[in-house]
């Protein structure tokens, strides 16, 4: 089945530093979604990318979808303690199959 590799598994930063997590697939993706899960909480949808080379921004968060639609990244500028949590990418192969394959996530901790 489809696999999505996500790195790094963990990232610890000082508040104010930047953070990036990467998601890679060996197959072309129909779209990719990003979720955030706070400690003890449930995953919450952040964004969906559909087009090749797409870049979307949400305040300090920048999301990119690769030109070949096989990789994606989430970049946070100037992290804050509120950014703590696990960030997951989730890929869809498209069609009538609405399944998502999740990456294993990147746990971000921020030292104030």
Query: Which residues in this chain contact another protein in the complex, by CB under 8 A?
Result: 1, 6, 9, 30-31, 33, 41-45, 48, 88, 90, 92, 94, 96-105
- Could you tell me the smallest distance in angstroms from the CB atom of residue 71 to another protein? 17
CB of 26 to another protein, least distance (A): 17
Q: What is the SS3 string spanning the chain?
A: CCCEEEECCEEEEECCCCEEEEEEECCCCCEEEEEEECCCCCCEEEEEECCCCCEEEECCEEEEECCCCCEEEEEECCCCHHHCEEEEEEEECCCCCCCCEECCCEEEEEEC
Q: Which is nearer to another protein, 77 or 109 (CB)?
A: 109
Q: How far is the CB of 87 from another protein (least distance, A)?
A: 11
Q: Which is nearer to another protein, 77 or 102 (CB)?
A: 102
Report the nearest approach of another protein to the CB of residue 108 (Å): 15
Query: Dihedral through CA 77, CA 78, CA 80, CA 82, nearest 10?
Result: -10
User: Please, which residue, 33 or 72, has the CB nearer to another protein?
Assistant: 33
Q: In terms of CB distance, is 16 or 41 closer to another protein? A: 41
Q: Tokens at residue 21, please?
A: 């997590």
């Amino acid at each position: 089945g489809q696999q999505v590799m996500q790195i790094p598994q963990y990232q610890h930063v000082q508040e104010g530093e930047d953070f990036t997590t990467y998601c890679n697939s060996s197959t072309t993706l129909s779209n990719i979604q990003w979720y955030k899960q706070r400690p003890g909480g449930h995953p919450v949808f952040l964004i969906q990318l559909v087009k090749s080379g797409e870049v979307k921004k949400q305040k300090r968060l920048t999301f990119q979808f690769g030109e070949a639609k096989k990789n994606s990244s989430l970049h946070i500028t100037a992290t804050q303690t509120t950014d703590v949590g696990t960030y997951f990418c989730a890929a869809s192969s498209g069609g009538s199959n609405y399944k998502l394959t999740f990456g294993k996530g990147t746990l971000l901790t921020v030292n104030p």
